[in-house]
């Protein structure tokens, strides 16, 4: 299974593209550094709750829309 | 409105108590340092995605169960 930060990255990217929001624009909307947005986009960083909410607000979605569920049946 | 980390703290505490899981036990279940668990419990820290998932797994719930929704009607 992919790590949460990787699935998060894919979900952010999908919503960004749907809404025509570039990484630059997301950086401005969230006040998160442009290079950090790039690292988020590549699934490299374990973002904090604060940043999760900033990004969700910029994409007008809920945190849950960006996060993978835990599959307990796999255990 | 309370900050996400404060609502998160309240939700973790509620689920912990429901399941009779002490802060000590949660620390052992998650491999998160005991003092850090204390700071999470007091809503002091902006935890990372990784830790969010570790805690959700220890409490056998989904990340969404621990996170407040964004209320867009307030905007």
pLDDT at A73: 87
A52 has a chain B CB within 8 A of its CB: yes
Percentage of residues in chain B having pLDDT higher than 70: 96
B46:A48 CB<8 A: yes
User: What mean pLDDT comes out for the span A9-23?
Assistant: 97
A74 has a chain B CB within 8 A of its CB: no
Distances (CA, A) of A72 to A8, A15, A41, A56, B58: 19, 26, 27, 25, 11
B63:A67 CB<8 A: yes
- pTM equals 0.92
Whether the CB-CB separation of B70 and A53 falls below 8 Å is answered with yes
Query: Domain segments of chain B: what residues?
Result: 4-61
pLDDT at B2: 78
Q: Among A75, A67, A7, which residue's Cα sits nearest to residue A41?
A: A7
The interface pTM score, or ipTM, of the predicted complex is 0.91
Distances (CA, A) of B5 to A25, B11, B26, B48: 26, 10, 17, 11
Q: Residue A4: its chain B contacts at CB < 8 A? A: 49-50, 52-53, 63
B63 has a chain A CB within 8 A of its CB: yes
Q: Could you tell me which chain A residue has the CA closest to the CA of B49?
A: A46
Is residue B59 predicted with pLDDT exceeding 60?
A: yes
At B43-57, the pLDDT tens digits run 999 999 999 999 999
- Mean pLDDT rounded to a whole number for chain A: 94
Give the architecture (CATH level 2) of B4-61: Orthogonal Bundle (1.10)
């Amino acid at each position: 299974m992919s790590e949460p930060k990787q699935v998060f990255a894919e979900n952010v990217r999908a919503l960004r593209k749907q809404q025509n929001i570039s990484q630059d624009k997301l950086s401005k909307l969230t006040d998160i550094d442009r290079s950090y947005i790039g690292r988020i986009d590549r699934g490299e960083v374990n973002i904090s709750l604060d940043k999760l909410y900033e990004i969700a607000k910029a994409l007008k979605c809920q945190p849950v829309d960006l996060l993978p569920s835990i599959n307990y049946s796999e255990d």
